């Protein structure tokens, strides 16, 4: 296989590259630069909605006879990275390296968190730190954020991090640990007060009632190819099961191919509640944007039919 063809496979992220490398381990060295580029740059077609590729890329790196060199290059890239999407991918890859015993990768994650906390654009690496070091990792983050709050009265800390940790370890236990730590740590106390303040402000300024069925149908009706899709993903995330059933029926009856995009984006997070035939057929069509979105809807669901579809698409690209 030519290098340019392999680069196309690995950048698509569908698994064809892994299948090829497993069958041709003696050729892996030939594609070193393509593997390195895909590992250090987020090459997703739609970076806002495509799921993370760290496990896919980690498996490719582990297949390589230059895996140590690739790991070191990924770690160096994380120190230099400024693009948010690529940074997120690099952090997740380094998390995998750290779990595999690479302490340099762990250090790079903490460094990126400390570095980005100093900016005004939000910090990176908190999920990876908590994944690796649990509650101790969260306390490190809370202390660092609290120190930032103490030194910058205009800094705003949202509630998403505390909420996710509370969900992971239990609200009661998380609250108990933070209260105990806050007795002797001013920074932890500052963190808790800032989150409490944000929650109060969010409650007081919560936006108006989300769109109902008739309203989202009108938005879909006026959709033009190229319009943003965030509104549909958010609506799908917040919709009731009955609402999702209604929209799924609308989608099944829709004939205009250009209108498939908003419907599919609604089911980017919730599972598609009806028979999957139409989504599967869209995944097969020769339209890269549509087939990618359909495949993202399907890959959340485990079934033999979807597994067979994935194999079919991989073979078609080989």
pLDDT for residue 315: 61
Mean per-residue pLDDT over the chain, rounded:
87
Same structural domain, 311 and 278: yes
Mean pLDDT of 259-288: 87
Mean pLDDT of 211-228: 87
pLDDT tens-digit series, residues 52-100: 788 889 998 998 889 999 999 999 999 999 888 899 999 999 999 999 9
Same structural domain, 38 and 94: yes
Q: Which domain holds residue 191?
A: 125-206
pLDDT for residue 42: 87
Inside any domain, residue 117: no
Same structural domain, 197 and 239: no
Inside any domain, residue 112: no
pLDDT tens-digit series, residues 141-180: 999 999 999 998 888 898 999 999 999 999 999 999 999 9
Rounded Cα distance, 29 and 37, in Å = 14
């Amino acid at each position: 296989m030519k290098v340019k063809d392999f680069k196309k496979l690995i950048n698509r992220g569908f698994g064809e590259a892994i299948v090829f490398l497993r069958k041709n381990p003696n050729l892996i060295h030939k594609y070193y630069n393509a593997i390195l580029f895909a590992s250090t740059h987020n090459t997703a077609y739609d970076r806002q909605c495509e799921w993370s590729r760290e496990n896919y890329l980690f498996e490719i790196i582990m297949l390589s006879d230059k895996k140590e060199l690739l790991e070191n290059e990924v770690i160096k890239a994380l120190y230099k990275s400024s693009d948010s999407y690529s940074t997120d991918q690099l952090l997740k890859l380094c998390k995998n390296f750290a779990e595999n015993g690479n302490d340099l990768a762990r250090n790079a994650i903490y460094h990126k968190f400390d570095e980005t906390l100093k900016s005004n654009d939000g910090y990176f690496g908190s999920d990876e730190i908590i994944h690796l070091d649990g509650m101790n990792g969260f306390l490190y983050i809370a202390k660092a954020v609290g120190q930032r709050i103490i030194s910058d009265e205009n800094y705003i800390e949202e509630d998403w991090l505390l909420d996710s940790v509370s969900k992971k370890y239990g609200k009661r236990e998380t609250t108990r640990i933070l209260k105990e730590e806050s007795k002797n740590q001013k920074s932890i106390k500052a963190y808790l007060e800032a989150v409490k303040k944000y929650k109060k402000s969010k409650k007081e300024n919560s936006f108006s009632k989300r769109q109902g069925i008739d309203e989202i149908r009108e938005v879909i009706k006026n959709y033009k190819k190229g319009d943003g899709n965030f509104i549909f993903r958010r609506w799908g995330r917040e919709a009731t099961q009955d609402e999702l059933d209604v929209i799924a029926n609308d989608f099944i009856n829709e004939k205009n191919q250009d209108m498939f995009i908003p419907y599919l984006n609604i089911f980017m997070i919730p599972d598609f509640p009806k028979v999957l035939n139409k989504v599967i057929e869209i995944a097969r069509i020769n339209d890269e944007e549509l087939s990618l979105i359909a495949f993202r809807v399907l890959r959340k669901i485990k079934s033999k039919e979807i597994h067979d579809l994935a194999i079919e698409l991989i073979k078609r690209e080989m």
